[in-house]
Structure 1
Amino acid sequence: MSQTVDRALSILPLLAQGPADLGQVADRLGVHKSTALRLLRTLHEHGLVYRQQDQRYRLGARLIALAQEAVENLDVREIAHPHLVRLGEETGHTVHLAVYEDGEVLYIDKVESRYPVRMYSRIGKPVAITVAAVAKLLLADLPEDERRTLAAKLDYPPYTPRSTPNAAAFLEELATVREQGWATDLGGHEESINCVAAPVRGADGRVVAAMSVSAPNVVVTAEELLALLPLVRRTADAISRDYSGHTPTKEQR
Structure 2
Amino acid sequence: MSQTVDRALSILPLLAEGPADLGQVADRLGVHKSTALRLLRTLHEHGLVYRQSDQRYRLGARLFALAQEAVENLDVREIAHPHLVRLNEQCGHTVHLAVYEENEVLYIDKVESRYPVRMYSRIGKPVAITVAAVAKLLLADLPEAERRVLAEKLDYPMYTARSIPNAPAFLKELATVREQGWATDLGGHEESINCVAAPIRGADGRVAAAMSVSAPNVVVTADELLTLLPLVRRTADAISRDYSGKPPKDPS
Q: Does the pair score TM above 0.5?
A: yes
Superposed displacement of residue 106, structure 1: 0.3
Aligned length: 251
**Matched residue SS, 1:219:** coil
Of stretches 10-19 and 118-127 in structure 1, the one that deviates more from structure 2 is 10-19
Aligned CA distance change for structure 1 residues 2 and 249 (closer, same or farther; 3 Å): closer
For residues 62-110 of structure 1, the C-alpha deviation after alignment (integer angstroms, 9 at most, x for no partner) is 1011101110111110111111111111111111000011111000000
Q: Contact 1:182–1:198 at 8 Å: present in 2 too? A: yes
Q: TM-score, normalised by structure 1?
A: 0.93
Aligned CA distance change for structure 1 residues 158 and 250 (closer, same or farther; 3 Å): farther
Aligned CA distance change for structure 1 residues 252 and 137 (closer, same or farther; 3 Å): farther
**Matched residue SS, 2:36:** helix
Superposed displacement of residue 8, structure 1: 1.4
Q: Contact 1:183–1:196 at 8 Å: present in 2 too? A: yes
**Matched residue SS, 1:191:** coil
For residues 28-78 of structure 1, the C-alpha deviation after alignment (integer angstroms, 9 at most, x for no partner) is 333221011100011012110122344332211110111011101111101
Which position in structure 2 is the counterpart of 1:208? 208
Superposed displacement of residue 249, structure 1: 12
In the alignment, the residues of structure 1 paired with residue 24 and residue 222 of structure 2 have an alpha-carbon distance, to the nearest angstrom, of: 56
Aligned CA distance change for structure 1 residues 233 and 8 (closer, same or farther; 3 Å): same
**Matched residue SS, 1:223:** helix
Aligned CA distance change for structure 1 residues 201 and 252 (closer, same or farther; 3 Å): farther
Q: Contact 1:137–1:177 at 8 Å: present in 2 too? A: yes
Which position in structure 2 is the counterpart of 1:52? 52
In the alignment, the residues of structure 2 paired with residue 79 and residue 235 of structure 1 have an alpha-carbon distance, to the nearest angstrom, of: 12
Which position in structure 1 is the counterpart of 2:136? 136
Aligned CA distance change for structure 1 residues 251 and 128 (closer, same or farther; 3 Å): farther
For residues 93-144 of structure 1, the C-alpha deviation after alignment (integer angstroms, 9 at most, x for no partner) is 1110000111110000001111111111100000011100000011111122
Aligned CA distance change for structure 1 residues 241 and 15 (closer, same or farther; 3 Å): same
Of stretches 233-242 and 94-103 in structure 1, the one that deviates more from structure 2 is 233-242
Q: Contact 2:241–2:248 at 8 Å: present in 1 too? A: no
For structure 1, the 5+ residue unaligned runs are none
In the alignment, the residues of structure 1 paired with residue 249 and residue 130 of structure 2 have an alpha-carbon distance, to the nearest angstrom, of: 27
Q: Contact 1:181–1:252 at 8 Å: present in 2 too? A: no
Which position in structure 1 is the counterpart of 2:8? 8
Q: How do 1:77-92 and structure 2 match up within 5 A? A: 77-92=77-92
**Matched residue SS, 1:158:** coil
**Matched residue SS, 1:165:** coil
In the alignment, the residues of structure 2 paired with residue 31 and residue 252 of structure 1 have an alpha-carbon distance, to the nearest angstrom, of: 34
For structure 2, the 5+ residue unaligned runs are none
Aligned CA distance change for structure 1 residues 101 and 252 (closer, same or farther; 3 Å): farther
Q: Contact 1:159–1:190 at 8 Å: present in 2 too? A: yes
Of stretches 201-210 and 103-112 in structure 1, the one that deviates more from structure 2 is 201-210
Superposed displacement of residue 18, structure 1: 3.1
Superposed displacement of residue 252, structure 1: 18
Of stretches 226-235 and 98-107 in structure 1, the one that deviates more from structure 2 is 226-235
Of stretches 10-19 and 73-82 in structure 1, the one that deviates more from structure 2 is 10-19
Q: Contact 1:205–1:252 at 8 Å: present in 2 too? A: no
Two-structure CA RMSD over aligned residues (Å) = 2.6
Q: Contact 1:8–1:39 at 8 Å: present in 2 too? A: yes
In the alignment, the residues of structure 1 paired with residue 237 and residue 173 of structure 2 have an alpha-carbon distance, to the nearest angstrom, of: 22
In the alignment, the residues of structure 2 paired with residue 85 and residue 59 of structure 1 have an alpha-carbon distance, to the nearest angstrom, of: 40
Superposed displacement of residue 153, structure 1: 1.5
For residues 195-237 of structure 1, the C-alpha deviation after alignment (integer angstroms, 9 at most, x for no partner) is 1111111111111111111111221121121111111111111
Q: Contact 1:97–1:108 at 8 Å: present in 2 too? A: yes
**Matched residue SS, 1:237:** helix
